[in-house]
Amino acid sequence: MTTAASLVTIEQLQQLIAHESAFTKSYGFVVTEASAGSCTLLVPHLPHFERPGGIVSGQVYMTAADVAMWLAIKTLRGIDDPSVTTQMQTYFLESLKSASFTCRAVVVKLGRSTAYGTADCVSADGRLLAQHTMTYAMPR
């Protein structure tokens, strides 16, 4: 039996977020890991997403978490899954100045029409920068 996860590759996920018209293209995310129910992105430091003083903007953490979860769901349901975000709770725990970070999302519960998961944004030295919980729904 073939599962959706076995059909979705890191290359397909990367292509989805990096093509010319992708809403995620300007962030420069790189898919570094993907397995059934999880996805990790490398989030590069880009000066145009800095707050005054070189602090990484909160929108970068939130977008990284949203995209990582969207891709994690695709590892379970397939690349064409239409799930969309219905709820997101973000806790900003520590700031990061002029540096890249990673964001790893994990699907905690997958139902027929909804998915629930978490995502952690972590600095290169292991500091937890932001933590997110998210719910997704499949449009009818």
CATH assignment at residue 110: 3.10.129.10
Write out residues in the chain with pLDDT < 50, as ranges.
1-2, 5
Place of tokens 């973000």: 90
DSSP string covering the chain: ---HHHH--HHHHHHHHHSTT-TTGGGT-EEEEEETTEEEEEE---GGGEETTTEEPHHHHHHHHHHHHHHHHHHHH-TT---EEEEEEEEE----BS--EEEEEEEEEE-SSEEEEEEEEEETTS-EEEEEEEEEE---
Which residues are bridge partners to 37 per DSSP? none
| The pLDDT value given to residue 20 | 84
| The pLDDT value given to residue 17 | 95
The CA-atom distances, in angstroms, between 97 and each of 44, 58, 113, 140 are: 12, 12, 39, 42
pTM here is: 0.93
| The pLDDT value given to residue 60 | 97
Q: Give me the number of domains the chain comprises.
A: 1
| The pLDDT value given to residue 127 | 98
| The pLDDT value given to residue 23 | 87
**Domain that residue 64 falls in:** 4-137
End-to-end CA distance of the chain: 27
Question: What does the alpha-carbon distance between residue 8 and residue 19 come to, in Å, rounded to a whole number?
Answer: 17
